[in-house]
């Protein structure tokens, strides 16, 4: 399948890479199908992109939560992730949406609402964690620096 995107040009993707977001993502309710796009030159990068298959102009910067912040411990209500199918922790990946500004010190990461993906069922959902210490606009540089990744 050829996907024409705003940021990556034309991508030839396998349809088995498509992740279904049954309820869309807040701010993008009509986008139900996404793929993860990584930098092939830096496969171990902390960053990747959640690219909409439904709208080539929609792409979100993601950070692999546990690679970037090993102490990140989001608490999620079981009911919030039951849409993802049977939960086996080996099949679950968690990402956080980042907003990258011209100055990295102004960039933020959303720790309050991670993107959870069940790699086995190819289903994803953005959920709200119950932890009070996490915010929607946490300073990205401070967050990663505190975890020793910068």
Q: Is the pLDDT of residue 86 over 90?
A: no
Distance CA(70)–CA(90), nearest Å, equals 16
Q: Which helix (H) or strand (E) holds 68?
A: helix 65-68
pTM assigned to the model: 0.88
pLDDT class of 43 with cuts at 50, 70, 90 = low
Q: Does residue 149 register a pLDDT over 60?
A: no
- Structure tokens of 66? 């546990």
Q: How far apart are CA 97 and CA 69, in angstroms?
A: 13
Note the pLDDT tens digit of each residue in 98-144. 998 888 889 999 999 999 999 999 999 999 999 999 999 988 887 76
End-to-end CA distance of the chain: 37
Assess contact for 143 and 135: CB atoms under 8 A: no
pLDDT, residue 28, reads: 94
Q: Which domains does the chain have, with CATH numbers?
A: 2-146 (2.30.290.10)
């Amino acid at each position: 399948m050829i996907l024409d995107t705003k940021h990556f040009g034309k991508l030839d993707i396998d349809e088995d890479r498509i992740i279904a977001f049954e309820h869309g993502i807040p701010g993008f309710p009509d986008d139900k199908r996404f793929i993860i796009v990584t930098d092939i030159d830096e496969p171990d990068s902390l960053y990747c992109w959640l690219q909409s298959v439904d709208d080539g102009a929609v792409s979100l910067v993601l950070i692999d939560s546990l690679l970037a912040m090993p102490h990140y411990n989001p608490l999620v209500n079981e009911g919030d992730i039951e849409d993802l199918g049977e939960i086996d922790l080996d099949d679950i990946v968690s990402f956080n949406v980042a907003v990258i500004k011209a100055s990295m010190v102004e960039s933020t990461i959303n720790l309050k609402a991670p993107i959870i993906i069940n790699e086995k069922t190819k289903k994803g959902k953005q959920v709200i964690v119950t932890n009070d210490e996490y915010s929607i606009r946490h300073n990205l540089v401070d967050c990663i620096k505190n975890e020793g990744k910068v």
